[in-house]
Amino acid sequence: MMAQVKLTVSRGKQALKDVAVAAGTAIAGSDAMELNIDQTKISKGDALVMVDALRAKIFASPWPMA
């Protein structure tokens, strides 16, 4: 079990199988979460669809995630 996980989603690849789960890095506080968005080539709508894909992956995965 990893204490931190990193979820990665790409525009156009929002299926559960396409959302990657990997080891994350520690952040300040054990009750925190970060979201990094590269806004170079995506719209706000794209970003919101991708956030929904992350939510779906968290919902469908066992907890704690591994």
Residue 66 belongs to a domain: no
Residue 50 belongs to a domain: yes
Residue span of the structural domain in which 32 resides: 5-60
**Beta-bridge partners for 21:** 7
d(CA 21, CA 5): 7
Q: How many domains does the chain have?
A: 1
Residue 26 belongs to a domain: yes
Residue 43 belongs to a domain: yes
The amino acid sitting at 36 is N
Residue 46 belongs to a domain: yes
- What pLDDT, on a 0 to 100 scale, did the predictor assign at position 14? 95
Q: Read off the pLDDT of residues 13-41 as tens digits, 9 standing for 90 and up.
A: 999 999 999 999 988 878 889 999 999 99
Residue 25 belongs to a domain: yes
Q: What are the tokens at 17? A: 């199988």
Residue 16 belongs to a domain: yes
Residue 65 belongs to a domain: no
